[in-house]
């Protein structure tokens, strides 16, 4: 929540559109979008990203089918799979 509030109060704003950012790094990454500097393209859809990390987060959240237990059951969040697997292996 503090980061969100800082984004609105830090004074770091994009000169092209006025959008606010909590730190210089975030503002610089955003400015790349205005400059159309997108180096990382998703191979599953038409979205592109300015950082490899952003692409990784996108793929993990949108295109990964899930995490599979040895019993064959599939879970989207890895923590659910871990909990299930722990119970599954103990029975």
Instruction: Check the CA dihedral 18-24-26-28 and report its sign.
Output: positive
11 domain residue, yes or no: yes
pLDDT above 90 as % of the chain? 0
**Is 7 inside any structural domain?**
yes
Q: Which domain holds residue 20?
A: 1-36
pLDDT value at 21 more than 70: yes
**Would 56 be classed as within a structural domain?**
no
pLDDT the model gives residue 35: 72
User: In the prediction, which pLDDT does 6 show?
Assistant: 53
For the purposes of burial, counting CB atoms within 10 Å of the CB of 49, is it exposed (0-12), middle (13-18) or buried (19 or more)? buried
In a domain, 61, yes or no: no
Q: Residue with structure tokens 């830090």?
A: 10
The verdict on residue 22 lying in a domain is: yes
| pTM for the predicted model, two decimal places | 0.40
In a domain, 77, yes or no: no
52 inside domain: no
35 vs 69: CA distance, rounded Å: 44
For 29, the 3-state DSSP assignment is helix
Average pLDDT score over residue span 40-52: 83
Domain count, the chain: 1
């Amino acid at each position: 929540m503090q980061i969100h509030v800082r984004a609105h109060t830090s004074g770091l704003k994009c000169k092209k559109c006025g959008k606010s950012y909590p730190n210089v790094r975030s503002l610089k990454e955003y400015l790349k979008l205005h400059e159309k500097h997108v180096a990382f393209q998703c191979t599953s859809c038409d979205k592109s990203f300015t950082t490899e990390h952003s692409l990784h987060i996108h793929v993990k959240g949108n295109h990964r089918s899930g995490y599979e237990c040895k019993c064959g059951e599939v879970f989207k969040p890895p923590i659910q799979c871990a909990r299930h697997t722990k119970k599954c292996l103990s029975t």
